Amino acid sequence: MGTQPTSIAIISDFVFYYYPTRLLAGIQSVLKQRGITSTIYQGGELRSEGHLYRKANDIYQLIRREQHQGLILFSQTLSRKDTSDELLQFIEPFADLPMVSIGRSIPGVPSVSIDNTPGMQALMEHLIKERDHRNFAFVRGVVGNLDSDEREWIFKDALAKHQLPFHPGLILNGDYDPQHAYAEVTRFLSSGAQVDVIVSANDEMTEGITRALRERNLRIPEDVAVVGFDDSDDFRSAVPPLTTVRQPFFEQGRAAAEALLALIDHGSTPLEVRLDTQLIIRQSCGTSSRTALKPQHVAPSLDTQGWSHAPREQQQVFESLYQATLDPSKRAEFLLFWKNSITTSLQAHSDVNSWFDILQSVREKLRPTLSGDTRADFDDLHASALSMLYSALKGTLTSRRARESSRAYLISQMSAAPTFEELLKGVDEYLTHYGMQSFALVFYEPFGPTPANAARVVLARGMPSPPAVGMFNPRGMLPDVMRAELARRNLMVAPLYTYDVHYGYVVYERPNQVYFDDETPLRTVINALAHFNERTAVKQYAQKLEHHSDILEQEVKARTRQLEDEILEHQMLARRLDHQANHDPLTGLPNRTFFTERLAYAIRQAEVSGYFTSLLFVDLDDFKGINDTLGHDVGDKVLITVAQRLQGCVRQEDLVARVGGDEFTVILPLSGVGEATAVAQRILSAFAVPFEVGNRQFYLGASIGISVSQEAGLNAGTLQRHADMAMYRAKHRKTGYEVFEPDMNRRTLERLQLASDLRRAVERQELELHYQPQVRLRDGELIGVEALLRWRHPERGMISPAQFIPLAEETGLIVPLGAWVLQEACRQGVEWANQGHASFRIAVNVSALQFERDDFVSTVSASLASTGFASERLELELTESIVMRDVRETTIRMEHLRQLGVSIAVDDFGTGYSSLSYLQRLPLNVLKIDRSFVQNLRDAENALPVVKAIVGLANHLGLSTLAEGVETDSELQLLLDVGCDFAQGYHFARPLPPGEILAFLEQQARKMIERHH
């Protein structure tokens, strides 16, 4: 059909970075000599992450044999994750076109690739023959990477060829990462190794290698030479400039174009073309006739001034400025380097302000080390560099401000265009301002999830305009009147699409810029188009309703009312969602997110007014016991009541929030310590009133921590931590509330140290067990002992269990500690039995964390088995809250323990929420009456009836009773009177070490009982 096509198709993904840009430049330099143009189809990587980029690949459907003489495929970047079969499947629709692949080999398709071997061999020969280096080390890339493995093989082969020393320790693993390379070279040098040169598998790793060398005061290249591979832009201006191996990307593009033209002209071309890499010699490879590395003293440099961890730009400026200060002949070299650095930064649109920081930092570090004329020369050179930087900054700020202001204005106009014509006008102005002078905007008819079979050019600039209403088949890319553009210029074809809609595509001539950003203007146009279509859809729907109003007036009114209801519903939903996002669904109080924002605002408000903001952290005491025993429904109702009581204690401008399960906060804006403590007292008074849920009534305590923003600059996080510390102090001291004091930070650190010491207490054998006797009241006979943990700290002496047991429970250390106690108690029991004392049992306390572990029963069984302790002599004590937490699971676990022969006691009975029906189902042996009831036995109205009730309940259930904390004769007598079975306490004996307990009990227990009969 028609004339012979004169365009070459190029398939690529993104083209606005260095590698594809250089390839395109090489391709087009060859095609231009033949008067042939190119059309670049810009889609995405074939196996892209995400649906959006895969959708871009539909643009490749526009490629047609009749439009192009041949095709070049950027397979190196386009199909990095695809197999050869998948790549063959992709190119099948273009099989009738002459084709060349760049990078990857495809069966039956000529390819052009780069051969790393010549450049690497030339590098090694230069280092060995020309530079006379003898001691080498190699930093490899990723293990298994083909390029890295090939370069390593050439490195080893060169050393073998010249009979130079080699052993596996000279190969370091850099993982293509500067930080990894730094760590490996640091380790290597620390081992005492000496080398002349370090060869890196790429340029980037030389940054880490250089830093490691300079930290040991080793100069480059005077002490150690460093070379790389790739000839990356960033390392051409390094200090010193990097010797490396260049990969000929431009030449690769030229070779691909030449191979394709040969295939078109003659029907054949070599199946594989490999281009040699080239050695680039710069200053970092050193001078000749050098000996092995020997560290020596050098003049103050980057590392001795503490700059080894500075950014590379700062290191380069420091070194260059330092050398120019010492050697006036290098002044011009420094100013040229400085100017190039700033210019490069401007071209890359970097933040030039950062260069002011670099120059100032260098001055602060370097100037104090200078004196006399040297310092004067430095000041003069610094002033010149600063003046140059001010000029550059002024220019770039002016141009950038004008450019960004204009571009922002154009984007806003385009995005808000009220009509299609205004939208196209905005697109035209925006793309032109961005530098695109020749382009055609093609829209599918209609838009849809896949490219349509019809299209029209809606906007054209720098190209012939098609008829006003001219539909064409997009498979031809452009209408017939514009088709000649394919032969006139090099064109890009990029899709216009969103996740679910194909709008069309843009055909444009790429501006003559090295690193032109194609993606930004195209994505901006897509966004403006999507917004316009959304607005148009809404407007068309409204017009449709208006058009049918005469016929469907009632329906329109009904629909209008429905829409109004929907809008109202949506508004209400939005308000509900906003409320839910910022409020607790149970109590309706603000949540942590809302609280955090308001606290930050309150602190700022206080700073402006010169006053304070106070924060209260309210934590409910033993709320978990309510959930565990009475259920979460009851717990939820209690939380609602707590929220109501808290709100009743504060002002309208104060904020009460729920920030956790049983944690609340109160923000008191513009309030000091006095106001905060008054609120805390009101809260505690409110909690003194019993809570009622259904027919249940019970008391619930609270611990309150108070912190006040008395210090300037105190942030919300610090204020919360202070309140939290104060709350824990109040909970520990049971004082109701505490105000944060700076000393609490110290106490917190002490707790952390104590926890650390506790972790090592077992292995250091600092723990020991003391045993408190348990006696039968009717005859004073010893029936058992309770094992109690003690900690003898090497520095702090004996530490109270009240200090370290709660800490162990908070940190989870109670599990290993509990296991040790169980094992040690069983071992001691066997020892006593061997001494003839096997008649009494040993009671061991069990924490909630221990008991709830799946392996608890097996742990008990293992302790009994490993020690040989009789299971019927072991009694496990569980608190009432543990027993009632999950009755079903508790019952199962207790049954397993009973099967072992172990007896079970409920500790601190009477302080929890036990249910009689549950107690009847549990396999218990003993109820231990809490010491709080024993110490108040003379209170005939309260404690004594409770003790009588517990004893009666135990008798009814067939259980024994044991009273804790018996200290006086009167307490002992009352317990005998109510029929209590057993007792323990200081009245009989304090907890004693194992060596003392038997003799003491045999002498004392019976005598104390006899005095009361």
pLDDT at res. 310: 47
Classify residue 200 as left (phi > 0), alpha (psi -120 to 50) or beta. Answer: beta
Q: How confident is the model at residue 715 (pLDDT cuts 50, 70, 90)?
A: confident
Kindly give the pairing relationship between strand 614-620 and strand 663-668.
antiparallel
pLDDT over 60 (residue 291): no
**CB-based contacts of 835: which residues, under 8 Å, 6+ apart?**
998
Host H or E run for residue 1006: helix 994-1010
Give the up-direction half-sphere exposure of residue 832: CA atoms within 13 A in the CB hemisphere. 25
> Model confidence at 288, in pLDDT bands (50, 70, 90)?
very low
Rounded CA gap, 28 and 7, in Å? 11
Stronger pLDDT, 328 or 924, i.e. the higher one: 924
pLDDT score for 308: 46
| Phi, psi at 88, each rounded to 5° | -60, -40
Write down the CATH number for the domain with range 582-738.
3.30.70.270
Residue 129 burial by CB count (10 A; 0-12/13-18/19+): exposed, middle or buried?
A: exposed
Range 543-552 average pLDDT: 68
Which pTM does this prediction carry?
0.45
Alpha carbons 440 and 457: distance in angstroms, whole number: 7
DSSP 866-924: HHT--GGGEEEEEEHHHHHHSHHHHHHHHHHHHHHT-EEEEEEETSS---HHHHHHS--
Q: What's residue 489's pLDDT?
A: 86
pLDDT in tens, 213-256: 999 999 999 999 999 998 877 787 677 889 999 988 889 999 99
Closest CA to 60 of 363, 474, 375, 573: 474
Most confident of 17-31, 292-306, 651-665: 651-665
Which residues are registered as beta bridge partners of 246? 230, 278
Each residue of 342-360: pLDDT tens digit?
Answer: 766 655 444 455 566 667 6
Tokens of residue 424, six digits: 């196209």
Element (H, E) at 656: strand 655-658
Residue 129 is predicted with a pLDDT of 93
Tell me the pairing of strands 767-776 and 982-983: antiparallel
pLDDT of residue 289: 39
Mean pLDDT of 507-523: 77
Tens-digit pLDDT profile for residues 786-841: 999 998 888 888 888 877 887 777 777 888 889 999 999 999 999 999 888 878 89
Rounded CA gap, 578 and 538, in Å?
26
253 touches 211 (CB < 8 A): no
Q: Where are the beta strands (DSSP E) in 76-178?
A: 99-102, 111-115, 136-140, 171-173
Residue 34: strand, helix, or coil? coil
| Contact in structure between 846 and 903 (CB atoms under 8 Å) | no
pLDDT tens for 635-650 read: 899 999 999 999 999 9
Residue whose C-alpha is closest to residue 738's, from 746, 730, 728: 730
Residues 822, 824, 830, 836, Cα dihedral to 10°? -110
Amino acid at 309: H
Q: Specify the CATH number for 114-249+276-280; select among 3.40.50.2300, 1.10.1740.110, 2.30.30.240, 3.40.50.1820.
A: 3.40.50.2300
pLDDT of res. 376: 79
**The CATH number, out of the four listed (3.40.309.10, 3.40.50.720, 3.40.30.10, 3.20.20.450), of the domain defined by the range 752-1010:** 3.20.20.450
For 552-587, b/e burial (b = at least 16 CB within 10 A) is eeeeeeeeeeeeeeeeeeeeeeeeeeeeeebbbeeb
Sign of CA dihedral 936, 937, 940, 944: positive
Q: pLDDT band at residue 916, thresholds of 50, 70 and 90?
A: low
The pLDDT tens digits of the residues spanning 363-417 come to 777 778 888 777 877 778 887 877 777 677 666 655 656 566 677 777 777 878 8
- pLDDT confidence bin for 87, thresholds 50/70/90: confident
Dist. CA 805–CA 794, nearest whole Å: 18
Digit-coded pLDDT (tens) for 878-896: 987 787 777 788 888 999 9
Beta carbons of 361 and 314 less than 8 angstroms apart: yes
Is the separation of the CB atoms in 915 and 634 below 8 Å?
Answer: no
pLDDT at 1004: 59
Q: Which residues pair with 499 in a beta bridge?
A: none
**Over pLDDT 90: what percentage of the chain?**
35
Give every CB contact of residue 107 below 8 A, 6+ residues apart in sequence: 84, 88
Higher pLDDT, 504 or 237: 504
Three-class secondary structure of residue 846 per DSSP: coil
pLDDT value, residue 468: 61
Could you give the angle at which helices 814-834 and 801-811 cross, rounded to 10 degrees? 130
pLDDT of 545 above 70: no
Give the Å distances, CA to CA, from 90 to 13, 47, 50, 203.
Answer: 14, 11, 19, 34
What is the distance between the alpha carbons of residues 494 and 477, in angstroms, rounded to a whole number? 11
In 10 A of CB 505, how many CB atoms? 27
Q: What Cα–Cα distance (Å) separates residue 665 from each residue in 616, 888, 919?
A: 5, 35, 38
Over the stretch 195-217, which tens digit does the pLDDT of each residue have? 999 999 999 899 999 999 999 99
Q: What's the start-to-end Cα distance of the chain, in Å?
A: 127
Cβ atoms of 251 and 278 within 8 Å: the answer is no
Tell me phi and psi for residue 284, to 5 degrees.
-75, -10
Beta-bridge mates of residue 616: 666, 706
Strand partners, 785: 773, 842
pLDDT of residue 300: 37
Q: 3-state class of 473 per DSSP? A: coil
Rounded to the nearest angstrom, the gap between the alpha carbon of residue 382 and the centroid of all alpha carbons in its chain is: 41
Average pLDDT across the chain, whole number: 83
CA distance 608 to 456: 62
| pLDDT reading at 478 higher than 80 | yes
Q: Which residues contact 430 (CB under 8 A, 6 or more apart)?
A: 407, 410, 411, 414, 521, 524, 525
Comparing C-alpha atoms, which of 16, 47, 19 is closest to residue 250?
Answer: 19
pLDDT digits (tens, 9 = 90+) for 719-740: 998 999 899 888 888 889 999 8
Q: Which of 454, 675, 359, 477 is nearest to 65 (CA)?
A: 477
Exposure string over 470-496, b if 16+ CB within 10 A, otherwise e: eebebebbbbeebbebbbebbbbbbbb
Do the bridges between strand 782-793 and strand 841-845 make them parallel or antiparallel, or are there none, so unpaired?
A: parallel
How many Å apart are CA 643 and CA 551, to the nearest integer? 57
Q: Is the pLDDT of residue 897 over 90?
A: yes
Between 80 and 586, where is the model more confident?
586
Q: Which has the higher per-residue pLDDT, 20 or 246?
A: 246
Q: Please choose, from the candidates 795, 842, 832, 756, the residue with its C-alpha nearest in 3D space to the C-alpha of residue 998.
A: 832
Determine how many CB atoms are found less than 10 A away from the CB of residue 297.
Answer: 6
For residue 307, what pLDDT is reported?
A: 47
Backbone angles phi, psi at 339, to 5 degrees: -65, -45
Helix (H, G, I), strand (E, B) or coil at 897: helix
CA nearest to 1000, candidates 1009, 988, 1011, 1012: 988
CB-based burial label for 739 (10 Å; 0-12, 13-18, 19+): buried
Q: What is the DSSP string of 502-520?
A: EEEEEEEPPPS-TT---HH
Element containing residue 558 per DSSP (H, E): helix 553-582
Tokens of 230: 């790739």
Residue-wise burial string across 344-358, b where 16 or more C-beta atoms lie within 10 A, e elsewhere: ebbeeeeebeebeeb
Q: Are 112 and 249 in contact (CB under 8 A)?
A: no
pLDDT score for 44: 77
- What pLDDT, on the 0 to 100 scale, is given for residue 306? 44
DSSP state of 741: -
The whole-number average pLDDT for the span 586-601 is 92
Strand order in the sheet with 225-227: 171-173, 136-140, 197-200, 225-227
Give the C-alpha separation, 267 to 336, whole Å. 52
Phi/psi of residue 612, each to 5°? -115, 165
**Residue 305 in this model has a pLDDT that exceeds 70:** no
Beta-bridge partner residues of 236: none
The alpha carbon of residue 403 and the mean position of all alpha carbons in its chain are separated, in whole angstroms, by 36
Closest alpha carbon to 740 in 777, 708, 773, 787: 708
Q: Which tokens hold the place of 362?
A: 């260098």
